[in-house]
């Protein structure tokens, strides 16, 4: 009887491409699903110390919704590092101009804060419209 835990090797990992349609879905729900796919938590061979996740393409980020009054109340904050260097932008402006960045920023907060997380973030591609450039990878549609 073999009671050893199988540790997945890098050459055993199969990377797939998934496409998610974000139209009329809340930003947080889409971001959590993308983070789950990037980390590989949907696979039975998940290992926290290895990048075993898949590539994710998100389309229609301009049609994502924010529940409640978050569109007007929630602020995107950044700081220059200087005294008084805090800049605030309402999410309404961010969703109009850079909705793909808003999604990427939300996913980044859900990934590990180390080199592995930074590597995972390079595998997400967000697009405002319904067109994308990854037809050659034959992405599968991911429904949730």
Residue 109 has a CB neighbour count (10 Å cut-off) of: 10
pTM of the model: 0.90
pLDDT value at 118 more than 90 = yes
Site of tokens 């973030």:
121
Q: Which domains does the chain have, with CATH numbers?
A: 15-66+98-141 (3.90.1180.10)
pLDDT tens digits, 25-73 = 999 999 999 999 999 999 988 888 999 999 999 999 999 999 999 999 9
Cα–Cα distance list, 117 to 51, 108, 114, 122, 129 (Å): 9, 8, 5, 9, 26
Tens of pLDDT, residues 66-110: 999 999 999 999 999 999 999 999 999 999 999 999 999 999 999
Mean pLDDT value across the chain: 93
Q: Are 37 and 76 in contact (CB under 8 A)?
A: no
Helix (H, G, I), strand (E, B) or coil at 141: strand
Q: Is the pLDDT of residue 1 over 70?
A: no
Q: How far is it, in rounded angstroms, from Cα 116 to Cα 114?
A: 5
């Amino acid at each position: 009887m073999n009671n050893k835990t199988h540790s997945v090797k890098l050459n055993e990992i199969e990377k797939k491409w998934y496409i998610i349609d974000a139209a009329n879905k809340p930003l947080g729900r889409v971001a959590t699903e993308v983070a789950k796919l990037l980390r590989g938590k949907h696979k039975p061979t998940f290992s926290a110390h290895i990048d075993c996740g898949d590539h994710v393409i998100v389309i229609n980020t301009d049609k994502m919704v924010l529940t409640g009054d978050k569109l007007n109340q929630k602020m995107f904050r950044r700081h220059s590092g200087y005294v008084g260097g805090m800049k605030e932008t309402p999410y309404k402006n961010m969703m109009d101009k850079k909705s793909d960045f808003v999604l990427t920023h939300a996913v980044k907060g859900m990934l590990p804060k180390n080199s592995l997380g930074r590597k995972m973030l390079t595998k997400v591609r967000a697009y405002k419209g319904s067109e994308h450039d990854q037809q050659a990878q034959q992405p599968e549609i991911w429904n949730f």
